[in-house]
Amino acid sequence: MKQTSISEVKLIEIPLIKDIRGNLGVLEGSTVPFKFKRVYYLFDVPSDAYRGAHSHKEQEELLIALSGSFDVVLDDGKEKKRILLNSPRHGLYIPPGIWRELEHFSSAAVCLALNSDVYSEADYIRDYDTFQNSKED
Ligand code: TYD
Exposed/middle/buried for residue 40 (C-beta within 10 Å: 0-12, 13-18, 19+):
exposed
CB 81 within 8 A of CB 72: no
15 in any annotated domain: yes
Residue 20's pLDDT is what?
Answer: 98
Residues designated as active site: 54
Structural domain contains residue 29: yes
Indicate whether 121 belongs to any domain: yes
Question: Do the domain assignments include residue 1?
Answer: no
Q: Ligand 1 centroid vs 75 CA: distance in angstroms?
A: 20
Q: What is the pLDDT along the chain (137 residues), one digit of tens a residue?
A: 668 999 999 999 999 999 999 999 999 999 999 999 999 999 999 999 999 999 999 999 999 999 999 999 999 999 999 999 999 999 999 999 999 999 999 999 999 999 999 999 999 999 999 999 999 76
From ligand 1's centre to the CA of 49, what distance in Å? Answer: 14
The set of protein residues with a Cβ atom below 6 angstroms from ligand 1 is: 38, 40, 42, 51-52, 54, 119
Q: Tell me, what's the pLDDT at 1?
A: 60
The pLDDT assigned to 3 comes to 83
Q: How far apart are CA 6 and CA 137, in angstroms?
A: 17
Q: Supply the CATH number for residue 69's domain.
A: 2.60.120.10
pLDDT number for residue 136: 78
* 11 assigned to some structural domain: yes
Q: Can you give the pTM of this predicted structure? A: 0.97
- Please tell me the total count of domains within the chain: 1
Residue 40, in any domain of the structure: yes
Q: Is the residue at 61 inside a domain?
A: yes
Domain holding 12, by residue range, is 6-136
